[in-house]
Structure 1
Amino acid sequence: MSHSVSKYIEEKIRERKEQNTFRKLFLPEAKVDFFSNDYLGIATNKSLAFPLNKIIRKVPHNMPLFGATGSRLLSGNSQFVEDTETLLANIHQTEAALLFNSGYNANLGVLSALPYKNATIFYDELIHASMHDGIKMSKAKATAFKHNSIKDLEEKLAATHNFKFIAIEALYSMDGDFAPLKEIVALAKKYDAAIILDEAHSTGIYGEKGEGWAQQQNLHQDIFIRIHTFGKAAGVHGAVVLCNESVKSFLVNYSRPFIFSTAMPLHSVCAIRSCYEYFASTACEAERKKLMQNIQLFSSVTKGITEFKFAESPSAIQTLFIPGNENAKTAAEKIRQQGFEVRAILSPTVAKDTERIRICLHSFNTTQEINDLLQTISYLK
């Protein structure tokens, strides 16, 4: 390896370590889960293996199950995949659907391809990194607006006269708050803007059968593009872009992450079908109700903990603010030592002085576990 390249790499690693922002992989331990995105326990629900196998048996024997063998534009397409996209489009009450290998790929694929040179993307300052990366790769201008600020968004929309896109999340992954979707839809109509909505953390949890936040609010017909990720509550892998047929054709022709990626294996497509069957079941409805009860319990108990600042979150994503990277890491380790799996979120992932411990609630967390976790937090020094 080049000496100069090696030196650069070592300097960047040392820089991260000196700033106390160095990341490293770890192996999860047998502790109570308050850190994963498996909100409904689907990823660890072994009883779902049987219905998944039933779907797998529907795959024609002459089709490769464990590898797609090529991109969708080469050997990676099939009637089974297209039927799955039609199924997802029907469930989400939209004209068309296009599968991507991950939520990151979907956001990258949409935002890098669709906004053109004479367009402006207005994006919430707290959108996910994948949306930021897609925006950077696009040829459009980009302007951030203050988080969930309708006033700031409108001022910026009113000052722009070219084509407009609004990039937001339904449920924000760090603060656990919802976008004011009704108000943003109204602005989009007023200023002729197209909304791109990331439903990563709302898929499976909200809606009558887990269809997401936009459908629960009955605003889905007013959203230009919805992106549903399957790696959170769905407990599997992949993502789907919900749109009209023209947008689907555009992405098939211009979205480089779609064009040049090997398609997801049929086994993953089967898993997506299986999770949607489960979303519609009474068993999953019971899990959603348990999750909502746990959110209410957590919120009510934290009101009595005055020594620490918690974000006011109505969702499964809860935030304990511990400013300072070292302070947040120390607090998270103390909690982990008491048997609870949590992680500190450090700057620059979040803004400096908003470092935190991100707590994810699940339907399978017991009342005792939640009370014990919060008691442990109340004893932190």
Structure 2
Amino acid sequence: MAASVPKTMKAVDIRNGKGDTSALFINDQTSVPTPTGSQALVKIRCFGLNRMDLLQREGNYPVPTGAPSTLGVEFSGTIASFSDSPSVEHDWKVGDEVFGLAYGGAYAEYIAVSTHMLIHKPKELSWEVCAGIPETWITATQALFLIGGFEKGQTVLWHAGASSVSIAGIQLAKEEGAAAIYVTASSKEKIDFCKELGATEGFNYKESDWSKELLKATDGRGVDVIVDFVGAAYFNQNLDAVARDGRIVNLGFLGGAVVKDDVDIGRFLRKRCRFEGSSLRSRDEGYQGKLRDQLVEHALPRFKDGRFHVPVEKVFKMSEIKDAHELMESNKTKGKLICTVE
């Protein structure tokens, strides 16, 4: 039997559709979504913050067609109801504790989300930890394996090593037998944190040319897979740092999208390397569902027994969303920021 569901709910909204953190507010007259197709309605306990949320708030992130305008793509909570469609997965019932990935709408009390993107919440994990898994770990899995083609015995470089995706990626690469795992970060504290997770070595990009330091560490060979969120500012250095037959996976443009300096693209031929951009949120449900299944099969048992860890930097209340966004903008975090829904 479906739980009693109100017609309106509290959700984070943005005055005038975009702006800085001061534009965020709690709209207590937001309509509760109605599940359709393969969707369930989930009463949210916690949701995770991601850098795309900052970009969307500023009006700089293209929301997928049909996605709700409310921010947020990862959450944990309890199933409240279902649509009447036969496309709903049958491994669910009202009251099930779940976490999952959505195209948007997680900064709220309720969310309508495909049952194909839900995961049963293990009793070993908290609501806060579960809300910090879906987007970051699925993105890291996609980047490392599907796009990066990583294989046991290869080497990996994760830029923004203390970011949530790289934190997941370091652990994935270690568990899957990487020969060495390197990171870039803005401080020794963050590099030491990455080493605790399994990184071999890290390079402070504020103090030296990280690509030269990496080549020294690898005796000039470079690394097989580079996962990059920086874009234009690292384009030239990535081509120096990638090994022959290596892959550069670009997931973002924190350092700009336009390469302004002269770049020797002959390295693509000499190194037989590949540069490929990718995203997760714009992928269709079938693609995302396969990654969900991979997460459930390979990563979830390791979360349960403690081999995989989700560092949570700080937990906020939904009413403190401005503070949460400001902390993420500071680039001083070493883990997930989570909000609880009061």
Q: TM-score, normalised by structure 2?
A: 0.33
Larger relative contact order (C-alpha < 8 A, sep ≥ 6)? 1
Which is strand-richer, 1 or 2? 2
Q: TM-score, normalised by structure 1?
A: 0.31
Which is helix-richer, 1 or 2? 1
Determine which structure has more spread, i.e. the larger CA radius of gyration. 1
